[in-house]
A and B are shown apart, each in its own frame.
Chain A
């Protein structure tokens, strides 16, 4: 393993951050320029060691295909990965992810994207797996077992673009002004030690989930072990990965609404629960006792997206900043109000969500 890979692959690196999410709830697409401007205003929250973006609706011509963004260290890693992919998928299209020369960005990896169709595979039948389960298995396999390969995103009609640098430079590097999406999220990172590996930047993605996250999870140790019960292996040592898997487990597998998930991840205090009427108290207590290990403790502000939703959430005592705003069909969520005002000077409403109170933007079409 090359020296650059050391940081996030092998250690948990605490980081401070700036985060933003923008969504058009009618599904109207807009370019990556706005989100770039927005995250760039929060330069003080970052130190140039990580920036990234997630974009939804950017591959309308391939929207039926699983789109994998890959990061390779070596040509061999690419060969190994493709060999593995071909067992399960038909490759509709593959190409390098287009990039521009940006002085501040030192490319370190081969960046590749694939549009894939899952083959009818006996494993799926035999193990009664859903298509999504198989995709997750593929991602886990590549990230865990293939040296020098890392799946950056693995959803449909979406992709994650990230690297080491300031977010503004990363946006220029990936030419994000040329993409149009209806949800964009962005992340600027302030890791506490040197990070050379691009995979460690955010957003973190699995299936069509993307997570940008500002925080350090004190419950990491148990959240990670809890997820292992359900077959999620945290291959990176990042809190963000844990957050993404928790959302996948609770929303996709356990079919809970984002509002209920918020009650699990940022559970209300017993003191508050005691004051509720019988039925609600019963509901809240059961949630807490069943999902205690999924409680995310410690400071966090997180913006999570999937193809139909943009969610912002704070920890249970709001130890990190998060501001939300709406304007017409747009929902904005950011670490700082300035980041919203930069691209939406006069929102209909701006507010600071309370601890544990989710902000949810939903696709209405």
Chain B
């Protein structure tokens, strides 16, 4: 193979003093970085193939391997950076669209890091979550503005019929990741963890594998533009249905699962022939306007006899607030909004990095708009797109989200090191791959445990922060922007986020 003209991104440093030539790295690396030379009895590493997933580093029993960024530097140039030069080089060689995985990695402002939370001092007491109840339970779904009561012999009853609500023990759900983009073991881990933690996971547009039907009560089944794996039993299997219009990592474009990943199992689950490309069109070809969306929402509701909440997922784009308002008016029970930092299994880099808006601004805009129009009760808001920790989550809820979708964080919990090479299908961690040699590396029991731990840890932290604010039920924080202050933001940012600057009292 000709020598690559793009310099390797990483350098593998092997400490020969420590290396015992056990060759675990050679056997494990799906990118064939490490090779054993029997003549010299030594292991060599070809850094040009390294994606920086750190799997070998983790496995190496003697700690002989260190993966480092390549220190090789181009002439300093603010415009013509290494990334720019390398991208052009790759395109000059291939004539193709640059692909990537995971969420936008560009340094756009992360508003979470410019928002600070409040705490009680003197005038009201903070609450200790270790001693007092602290409630995170959240119900998602359409709610009436008011209820009407009727009295009966055994106490008051409710005349108002409430649509089915999704009960979450913590306001964090696992966002859509399809079987195909991730392995079955990863799907099983998510499904089991959602069940154990009392929340929901989302099938993505990959259909629902037979083995996962039993987790239906904790599943949101997705209906996307390719309609893969959508049939009556599928719709009825989940607790709710989500129509996917768009995704934060690639607003406005469709998806593509290459044929080589369409194994027998995936072919059966998606209901497409083995080995064929699974192409999700950019738009749904039966939705060219808001009234068409309404028809699909109600077709799905009819199909499931109005027992399942039906939501709509959109990417956060410039006009997100009016679009969300239209979606609520079209009958959606929840709106999922995915910000620019939302992840993907594969997307053109130029789309991922340049299209959409940060989720912080989208939550604020949508929540405010729905309130202005008096329809905020009619649908819940689930926000997604790069949530990294419990403080991001709690800030999103204070801005106005009912709950938060996490996916990248969930993958990281299962081992992912965000190397952004999901689209290659060579994921060493056994997550974003269908290669049986790789997928068996993810033990679903361990995956489940780690995901449940993550949700537990974040929930505990959220309770601590809530208690500090003197609040003991998450609904009292939802949309409670008084508990937030902006630091280092412009007046316009503050206005859009609907929060006051730090230093300003009530």
Contacts and interface: CB of A to CB of B under 8 A. Distances in A.
Interface of A: 11-16, 192, 215-216, 218-222, 224-226, 228-230, 237, 253-256, 260, 267, 269-271, 279-280, 282-283, 285-293, 295-299, 316-317, 319
Interface string B475-503: 11111111100000000000000000000
B139 A289 contact: yes
A94 to B, nearest CB: 35
A163 to B, nearest CB: 22
20 contacts: A13-B506, A14-B124, A215-B124, A222-B478, A222-B479, A225-B480, A225-B481, A254-B147, A267-B473, A270-B137, A283-B158, A285-B139, A288-B475, A289-B165, A290-B144, A291-B147, A293-B475, A297-B470, A299-B124, A319-B124
Given A270-B135, A289-B143, A290-B146, A298 B156 contact: no
A219 B474 CA distance: 10
Contact of B475 (A12, A14, A295): A295
Interface of B: 120, 123-125, 127, 132-133, 135, 137, 139, 143-149, 154-158, 160, 162, 165, 371, 374, 376-377, 398, 469-473, 475-483, 505-506
Nearest to A13: B506
Given A14-B124, A260-B156, A289-B165, A225 B505 contact: no
A56 B473 CA distance: 36
A235 to B, nearest CB: 15
* Majority DSSP secondary structure for residues of B touching A: loop
Contact of A290 (B147, B481, B506): B147
A291 to B, nearest CB: 8
Contacts of A290: 143-144, 146-147, 160, 162, 377
Contacts of B125: 299, 319
Given A228-B371, A295-B473, A298-B471, A216 B124 contact: yes
Given A219-B476, A290-B144, 12 more contacts: A11-B506, A12-B505, A14-B124, A218-B476, A225-B480, A226-B479, A255-B148, A279-B155, A283-B155, A290-B143, A293-B478, A317-B472
A79 to B, nearest CB: 33
Contacts of A225: 371, 479-481
B470 A269 contact: no
A259 to B, nearest CB: 9
A228 B137 CA distance: 25
Contact of B481 (A221, A291, A316): A221
Contacts of B135: 269-270
Contacts of A280: 155
Given A254-B146, A297-B470, A279 B476 contact: no
Contact of A11 (B120, B156, B475, B505): B505
A287 B376 contact: no
Contacts of B158: 282-283, 286
Contacts of B149: 256, 260
B449 to A, nearest CB: 26
A312 B451 CA distance: 45
Contacts of B376: 229
Nearest to A249: B146
Given A270-B137, A289-B162, A316 B472 contact: yes
B124 A298 contact: yes
A256 B160 CA distance: 13
A316 B132 CA distance: 11
A271 B137 CA distance: 10
B482 A220 contact: yes
Contact of A279 (B154, B162, B481): B154
Residue picked from B144, B376, B469, B478, most chain A C-beta under 10 Å: B478
B162 A286 contact: yes
Contact of A298 (B155, B157, B470): B470
A76 to B, nearest CB: 30
Nearest to B470: A218
Residue picked from A228, A229, A256, most chain B C-beta under 10 Å: A229
B482 A221 contact: yes
Contacts of A270: 135, 137
Given A271-B133, A279-B154, A286-B162, A222 B476 contact: yes
Contact of B479 (A12, A221, A298): A221
Nearest to A15: B123
> Across chains A and B, which 3 residue pairs bring their CB atoms closest together, nearest first?
A221-B482, A12-B506, A292-B475
Contacts of B505: 11-12
Contact of B147 (A226, A279, A287): A287
A282 B157 CA distance: 9
B123 A216 contact: yes
Nearest to A256: B149
A16 to B, nearest CB: 7
A218 B471 contact: yes
Contacts of A224: 482
Residue picked from A13, A270, A290, most chain B C-beta under 10 Å: A290
Given A286-B147, A317-B132, A229 B371 contact: yes
A316 B472 CA distance: 9
Contact of A218 (B124, B143, B144, B160): B124
Contacts of A222: 475-480
A233 to B, nearest CB: 13
A317 B477 CA distance: 17
Residue picked from A293, A297, A317, most chain B C-beta under 10 Å: A297
B506 A237 contact: yes
A242 B41 CA distance: 78
B273 to A, nearest CB: 45
Contacts of B165: 289
Nearest to A297: B476
B147 A219 contact: no
A219 B471 contact: yes
